[in-house]
Amino acid sequence: MFKEIKVNYGSLFEEALLKEIEEIGVYKEVRKDDKLIEIGAYVKSMPLLISGAIKILREDDDGNELFLYFLEKGDTCAMTLSCCIGQGQSKIRAIAEVDSSLYMIPVQKMEEWTSKYKSWRNFVFASYHNRLLELLDTIDNIAFLNLDQRLLKYLQDKSKISDSNIVSSTHQEIAYDLNTSRVVISRLLKTLENKNIIELQRNKIILLES
């Protein structure tokens, strides 16, 4: 299991840090659709993603959902880091998009390593940086694009994550992620199909060439 850490993070972290991660980190496997973090939950450990992908969602007080971005291997969740500093409650929900494996690091180690290891510091900064860019991208999408374009991007994202041109979702699931209604998604998907951009099947959307 541990060699996985080396493969993904070996070039980033110095030997001593890798060793600490091995000693302290807890290896964990999660299945597709497993919930990793719920909104409001207290964050006690931060994940280093080894394989798979994690979907990060936002939800408002009325239960409206919005997909933010995916975490992939080599990523960590800056939002989690962030929560360790603040009041500690998660502002987001994290759900395994596919079967995934990760190393959980207790948050207490964070500050310690931040002083001790320059490579860890850089990793954390880079992680924050990437999350900021992702959020900006999300903002661009919802602020500047129409729903049909957002939908297409969403499908392409999903396709990329699962490394397949088939997206296995119901229209309702997509509607939740984009914070709209099923009927609207069905309508837009049908339009995309008529333009020969996708092909529709039950529980399946096939992205045609590209």
Binding site for DNA (CB under 7 A): 146-148, 170-172, 179-184, 186-190, 200, 202-204
Q: Whose Cβ is closer to DNA: residue 102's or residue 192's?
A: 192
The Cα 149–Cα 184 span in angstroms is: 13
Q: Which of residues 169-198 bind its own copies (CB under 8 A)?
A: 179
The Cα 52–Cα 96 span in angstroms is: 8
- With binding defined as CB under 8 A, does residue 60 bind its own copies? yes
H helices within the chain, ranges in order?
Answer: 2-9, 15-24, 78-85, 108-116, 118-144, 147-162, 171-177, 182-194
Q: Whose Cβ is closer to DNA: residue 114's or residue 141's?
A: 141
Instruction: Say what the alpha-carbon torsion angle 26, 36, 133, 130 is, to the nearest 10 degrees.
Output: 0
The Cα 146–Cα 126 span in angstroms is: 31
Q: Whose Cβ is closer to DNA: residue 161's or residue 188's?
A: 188
Q: Whose Cβ is closer to its own copies: residue 124's or residue 167's?
A: 124
- With binding defined as CB under 8 A, does residue 7 bind its own copies? no
Please, how many CA atoms are within 13 Å of residue 116, restricted to the half-sphere of its CB? Answer: 12
Q: Which residues of the shown chain bind its own copies in the complex (CB under 8 A)?
A: 58, 60, 62, 64, 66, 68, 78-79, 81-82, 85-86, 91-92, 114-115, 118, 121, 124-126, 128-129, 131-133, 135-136, 138-140, 142-144, 179
